[in-house]
Amino acid sequence: MPDQIPVLDLSDFLAGKLGALEQTAADLRRACERVGFYFITGHGVDWGIVDGAFEASRRFHALPLERKLAVKANHHNTGYMPSRTSISRASKVYDGVRKQNLVAAYSVKRDLPPDHPDVLAEKRFRAANPWPEDLPGFREACTRTMDALEGLAKSMLPLYAVALNLAPDFFEEAFQKPQYSFRLAHYPPLEAEDNQFGIAPHTDSSFMTLLAQNEVPGLQIRPPDGDWMDAPVLSEAFLVNTGDLLHRWSNHRFRPTPHRAVASAPGVDRYAIPFFFDASNDYVMECLPTCHGPDNPPRYDPITYSEYMEWFGRQNYAHFNQDAAE
């Protein structure tokens, strides 16, 4: 295992063992300040749920294009986005001419019922998900996975708080109704042009991202003061990374490390199921009290998830404003 990516075993922390919160938080702090990526094991998630999500992704992406376009992506950033319809512009990472990403993806958020007040009010990023028809068990596999990963992410919040020298319950209010996005990504075996990728070099928009490991490699990261490297595969583990919102919230204390997905090899279909975890939609994130001072003033104005994601989506996705304008 490369030294650049630490491995954190959460089993003692989740079991409530004496001192485990402080020790695991210290390990997380080092990972987030120095690398921006780390693996977690001992997370308690039933891997059968994860396997079910990968199978659901394969089933969805195997559908005819017209059926997938029936749930095309919208301005809530949910639905299906075909290959070559996104360009990674929002990130500060830049490796030459930005070309269309080869990835195809279907994204959903918390599964709200049609009569939910936010759905009826057409609140941004709080819409009912566009589920495909006649795909038995698909919706259940997605919601089962989202529930499991939301539970895992929320259980880790005390680690982040203590790592940032805050009280263990500091983030409880901010994550009372956390936003999240669950993406079923498909990297088809397409021939890439020069400087074209499955997903071009970027940093995530999230507070943190949980990426379930699969057996087909393709993710590359660029550690601080290092060159691009293949991310190793650690069986039944999650690879976790800091996103731009936590980078911003922590006043650059926790780093969002650049990463990219290479184009799939000939004859190989690769799938990924990242889970992007964020604070509640309208919670105002202002610089954390332990991350600024007289010699280190806040770098950013306060912002909500909704405000940030409106900007992020406009920069990256061709579909983002289309149906809002229609």
Question: Mean of the pLDDT values across residues 13-41?
Answer: 97
Question: Mean of the pLDDT values across residues 216-242?
Answer: 91
Confidence band for 223, pLDDT divided at 50, 70 and 90 = confident
Percent of the chain surpassing pLDDT 90? 72
Q: What is the pTM of this model?
A: 0.93
Confidence band for 201, pLDDT divided at 50, 70 and 90 = confident
| Least confident span in 24-33, 66-75, 317-326 | 317-326
Which burial class, exposed, middle or buried, applies to 215 when counting CB atoms under 10 A from its CB (0-12, 13-18, 19+)? exposed
Task: Please answer whether residues 172 and 250 qualify as being in contact, where contact means their C-beta atoms are separated by less than 8 angstroms.
Answer: no
Angle at 69 between CA 51 and CA 307, to 5 degrees: 80
The DSSP bridge pattern shows strands 7-9 and 37-41 to be: parallel
Q: What is the pLDDT of residue 93?
A: 60
| C-alpha span between 6 and 214 (Å, rounded) | 18
Q: What is the pLDDT of residue 77?
A: 87
With a cut of 70, say whether residue 242 has pLDDT above it: yes
Q: Torsions phi, psi of 151, nearest 5?
A: -60, -40
What is the SS3 assignment for 245? helix
With a cut of 90, say whether residue 313 has pLDDT above it: no
With a cut of 60, say whether residue 319 has pLDDT above it: no
Maximum distance among all Cα pairs of the chain, rounded to whole angstroms: 59
What is the SS3 assignment for 167? coil
Question: Mean of the pLDDT values across residues 151-160?
Answer: 98
Query: What one-character DSSP code corresponds to residue 303?
Result: B
Domain ranges of the chain: 7-319
How is domain 7-319 classified at the architecture level of CATH?
Sandwich (2.60)
Render pLDDT for 68-127 as a digit per residue (tens, 0 to 9): 999 999 988 899 999 887 766 545 565 555 788 889 999 999 999 999 999 999 998 999
